[in-house]
Amino acid sequence: MSHTLLASKRLSRTAIRPPRPIVETAPTLTPERFQECLPKYLPRMLAVARRHLSCEADCADAVQDACVRALSGLPRFRGDCDLGTWLHRIVVNACLMRRRSQAVRKIGTLASGEDVAEQAPDQPKWSESARQIVRSAARELPNTQGLVIQLRYFEGLNTAQTAALLGVRPEVVKTRLHRARRALRRRIAGVIASEA
C-alpha cells in the first residue's frame, strides 16, 4: 500500500471515532461523585502501587493513602488532565513517601545500636572497635553517602535493593558508594593516624 492510502485510512478511522469524553471535569466532580467513580480506578491504582512496592500490604496501604489524599485534595483538581492521570500521580507519590519512610525506619534501627552481625549474618564479622570506627566515620559523611554506606555494609543490602529503597537508579547508588568509600578511607586513615 502506498503511504497516502495508509494515511487516509488512519484519518478515516480517527474521523469516525467520536472524541473521547472526559469522564469528570473539575466543576462536576463532587466528593459524592468522586466516591462513585473511585471503584473504576482502584484496580489501576493498585497496579501502579505494585510496580513501586514489593509488599502487597504496602501496596494496599499506599492506595488507601492515595484515596484519602485525593479526596482531601479534590478542590485542587482543576481538570487539566483526566481523573485517572491525576490519581496515578497521587499513587506514585504515596508509594515514594512510603519507601522513604521505610528507609528512615531502617536507618533509625541502625542508629539505635542493634547488632549488625545479627542483621546480616553473611556479612564479614568485624571487631567491635573496627565497627565503631567505621560507624562513627560514616556518621560524619554527607547524608547521601553515609546512608549508602549504612545500607550496603551495615544492613547488607545489594546495589539493586539499596537503589529501590532510596528511589534512585542503581548507577546513582554505585556513584555515591564510590565517593563514600573514598571519603571514608580518608576519614578512617585520619582516625588511625591520630591514634598511632
- Residue 187, domain CATH: 1.10.10.10
> Is 77 found in the same domain as 29?
yes
| pLDDT at residue 188 is higher than 50 | yes
Average pLDDT of 79-92?
86
Query: Rounded mean pLDDT of 186-191?
Result: 73
* pTM of the predicted protein model: 0.45
pLDDT at residue number 190: 67
Q: Is the pLDDT of residue 92 over 70?
A: yes
Is residue 33, in this structure, part of any structural domain at all? yes
Rounded distance between C-alpha atoms, residue 160 and residue 23, angstroms = 39
Q: Is residue 155 part of a domain?
A: yes
Of 17-26, 40-49, 57-66, 186-195, minimum mean pLDDT range: 17-26
Burial of 169 (0-12, 13-18, 19+ CB in 10 A): exposed
Which 8-state DSSP code applies to residue 53?
-
- In angstroms, the CA 86 to CA 70 distance is 9
* Predicted pLDDT at 44: 92
The pLDDT tens digits for 114-126 are 444 344 434 445 5
Structural domain total, the chain: 2
Q: How confident is the model at residue 85 (pLDDT cuts 50, 70, 90)?
A: confident
pLDDT value for 60? 92
Mean pLDDT for the chain overall: 75
Higher pLDDT, 60 or 23: 60
**DSSP labels, 123-190:** SPP--HHHHHHHHHHHHTS-HHHHHHHIIIIIS---HHHHHHHHTS-HHHHHHHHHHHHHHHHHHHHH
Domain span at residue 79 reads 23-104
**Burial (CB count <10 Å: 0-12, 13-18, 19+), residue 57:** exposed
Q: Is there a single domain that holds both residue 86 and residue 128?
A: no
Q: Is residue 165 part of a domain?
A: yes
Q: Is the pLDDT of residue 157 over 90?
A: no
CA 108 to chain centre: 18
Q: Which residue has better confidence, 80 or 93?
A: 93
